Structure 1
Amino acid sequence: MFSKACEYGIKAAIFIATKSFEGKRVSPKEIANEINSPQAFTAKILQALVKHNVVNSVKGAYGGFEIDKNDINRIKLFQIVNAIDGDSIYNGCGLGLETCDENHPCPVHDKFKSVREELKYMLENTSLEELALNIKSGASFLKV
């Protein structure tokens, strides 16, 4: 459903948030290792997250990526998805057709419309804090 870049972006943001709760910054190499992503690809994803104010980049010997602890609960998944994939997930055809709308629907248009609405609701109402705390508590995981 999400692009590979978006999947990595979500995982990276969750990992950065878990470390930010501990007052730690993480390097692109650490992030890439944790989310099983190529380092160069991870760096590009991180640039997009910085550009869209999801994560902060600190340069220097003690630099790395972090999220202000006060912002972790305000960041919603839709912000990460938008930073990486834009809003195409809310508008695209379920079968990938170029033209698909109410007047010219694909075979799954009506069913996919409700799935898309539920997805949008979930992304807009799920905070990075919720996901990071689930990782910290062991209720969920990023890596096998």
Structure 2
Amino acid sequence: MFSKTCEYAIRALIYIAQKSKDGSRIGIKEIALGIDSPEYFIAKILQELSRKGFVQSAKGPTGGFFMDGSNLKLSIADIVREIDGDKLFSGCGLGLKECSESHPCPIHNEFKHIRQAIKTMLEESRIQLFVEDLDLKLTFLKK
């Protein structure tokens, strides 16, 4: 459903939010280990997300990534739109360019309900909620 880049971005942001809530800064090696991702790949993703304000970073010996309170309010939909664009929320289920209400593909009418349900779920899913579930050990980020 998500690109690999988007999957890593979501997992990394949730991980950073959980690990930095006490004011800590988290390094790339720890993030990569914590979410089971390639270090070079997650570094590139986080550099871009930092530039766009999804996560903060600091350089130096005590540097690393961290999140502030406003970032905890980000929805998973915000992250998906930034990384993968809006296709998940508006695209055709069969990948057709011409699909629309007036010119529907064979699965259009059923798929638009599924697409809307996914959009609603991801818009209501905030990073803070995932951090709370991780703290309670209700969910996990790594196999």
Task: Report the TM-score when normalising by structure 2.
Answer: 0.92
Q: What are the superposed Cα offsets for residues 62-118 of structure 1, whole Å, 9 maximum, x if unpaired?
A: 1111001x2244221122112211212112111222321122222211111111111
Map of 1:6 onto structure 2: 6
Q: Secondary structure at the match of 1:57?
A: strand
2-side partners of 1:52 and 1:92: how far apart?
A: 25
SS in 2 for 1:22: coil
Q: Which residue of 2 aligns with 1:80?
A: 79
Letter paired with 2:14: I
Structure 2: distance between partners of 1:20 and 1:109: 43
| Cα distance in 2 between the residues matched to 1:93 and 1:52 | 28
What is the one-letter code of the residue matched to 2:106? P
CA RMSD of aligned residues (A): 1.4
- Normalised by the size of structure 1, how large is the TM-score? 0.91
The percentage of aligned residue pairs carrying the same residue is 47
Report the secondary structure of 2:104's partner residue. Answer: coil
Kindly provide the amino acid, as one letter, of the partner of residue 9 in structure 1.
A
Q: How many residues align?
A: 143
Match of 2:127 in 1: 128
User: Which runs of at least 4 in structure 1 moved beyond 4 Å after TM superposition?
Assistant: none
Match of 1:50 in 2: 50
Aligned to 1:115: 114
Q: Secondary structure at the match of 1:45?
A: helix
51 and 82 in structure 1: CA distance in 2 versus 1, 3 angstrom threshold: farther
